[in-house]
Amino acid sequence: MASPPYAASMKVLSHSERQPLRGTGRTKDVPGFDPLTGSLAFISNLSMRAGSAREPVTRELSGPNRHETLMTVDSKGLVMRATHYRYADIDEQQLFCREAGPADAPALVLLHGFPTSSYMFRDLIPLLADRYHVIAPDHLGFGLSGAPPAGEFTCTFDALAGLTAGLLSQLGVTRYAMYVQDYGAPVGWRLALANPAAVTSIVTQNGNGYEAGFTEGFWKPVREYWHDPSPQAEAALRQALTLEAIRWQYLHGVPDETVVSPDTWYHDYALVSRPGNDLVQLALFADSVVTT
């Protein structure tokens, strides 16, 4: 997904704060991640390992689901980790998340930005699931998570962080690395501040955390809405919810637009446009001011 044209900022734990991973001497940073550039180039180096089995591998579970598929092997012997699509009720709100990988592997939480959802990680998750327990939730108001009317739920980044913390607790995840992008950043920062010991490392891509990141050109309509939520200022912000603006999120700066699937922006637009969800999105635009 093309990144919005505002400045990115980086926050990673210092080397002294990182813990050795199972006695190997490696840190719990994401392998191949360059803390100076925030590079995710390591993804291209992840390979799916071929196996000899031809049947899905399962594990025993307690509770209502007695077996859970961990991986499948195709006709060519290529191992594909199964992604599970789950719903969870957290504080009377329904959250959707994608989960993959061994439950006892190091946990990696993927937090998406505006206007997308965990759908943006659909191809990445299988590449990571051979070595990580991957959890990718949809924020409330996005993707397949609930979209409660603005009058029934005050949607703020504090609230989104609280729901995410509740989801991780329900999944039994107590320590994790996180990848944050755009709106995922103010959610992730709150999780880290609330429980620093739980976060082993952070990868941030366009995850703003400083006033300098609110560049004038991109953030001007939002700033105007902060200072005066007039009908005129609201109308300018509503442009961000249009199909054309969401399409721009994916194609801005892309030299060959034919390699980007239109499914992405049509998927995002359909889910952001659920009845009443426009007010949820406006509430989050207004709440962005607290991240400065």
> Tens digit of pLDDT for each residue in 143-161?
999 999 988 999 999 999 9
Residues 71 and 125 in one domain: no
Orientation of helix 277-287 relative to helix 216-227, angle to 10°: 100
Residue 12 lies in a domain: no
For residues 207 and 185, is the Cβ–Cβ distance under 8 A? yes
Residues 71 and 89 in one domain: no
Phi, psi (5° rounding) for residue 69? -70, 125
Residues 212 and 128 in one domain: yes
For residues 145 and 137, is the Cβ–Cβ distance under 8 A? yes
For residues 58 and 64, is the Cβ–Cβ distance under 8 A? no
Residues 57 and 115 in one domain: no
Residues 6 or more apart from 230 whose CB is under 8 A from it? none
Q: End of a domain among 81, 100, 123?
A: 81
Residues 142 and 185 in one domain: yes
- Give the residue among 157, 158, 166, 178 at the shortest CA–CA distance from 114: 157
Residue 191 lies in a domain: yes
Q: Residue 33: left (phi > 0), alpha (psi -120 to 50), or beta?
A: beta
Residues 156 and 264 in one domain: yes
- Residues (pLDDT < 50) of the chain are 1-67, 290-292
Locus of tokens 């592997």:
105
Model pLDDT for residues 83-132, shown as the tens digit of each residue: 999 999 999 999 999 999 999 999 999 999 999 999 999 999 999 999 99
Residues 106 and 187 in one domain: yes
Query: How many separate domains does the chain show?
Result: 2
DSSP lists the bridge partners of residue 109 as 135, 178
What's the pLDDT score for residue 219? 86
Residue 2 lies in a domain: no
Whole-number Å distance between alpha carbons of 208 and 223 = 15
Residue 57 lies in a domain: yes
E runs forming strands in the chain: 57-60, 67-73, 79-81, 83-90, 93-100, 107-111, 133-137, 176-181, 199-205
CATH number assigned to the domain comprising residue 155: 3.40.50.1820
* 14's tokens: 């210092």
pTM greater than 0.95: no
Residues 96 and 57 in one domain: no
Residue 3 lies in a domain: no
Residues 125 and 55 in one domain: no
Residues 25 and 102 in one domain: yes
126 in helix, strand or coil?
A: helix
- Letter for the amino acid at 186? P
DSSP lists the bridge partners of residue 199 as 176
Residue 4 lies in a domain: no
Residues 149 and 216 in one domain: yes
- Letter for the amino acid at 31? P
Residue 6 lies in a domain: no
Q: Which domain holds residue 60?
A: 50-81
Residue 185 lies in a domain: yes
Residues 34 and 126 in one domain: yes
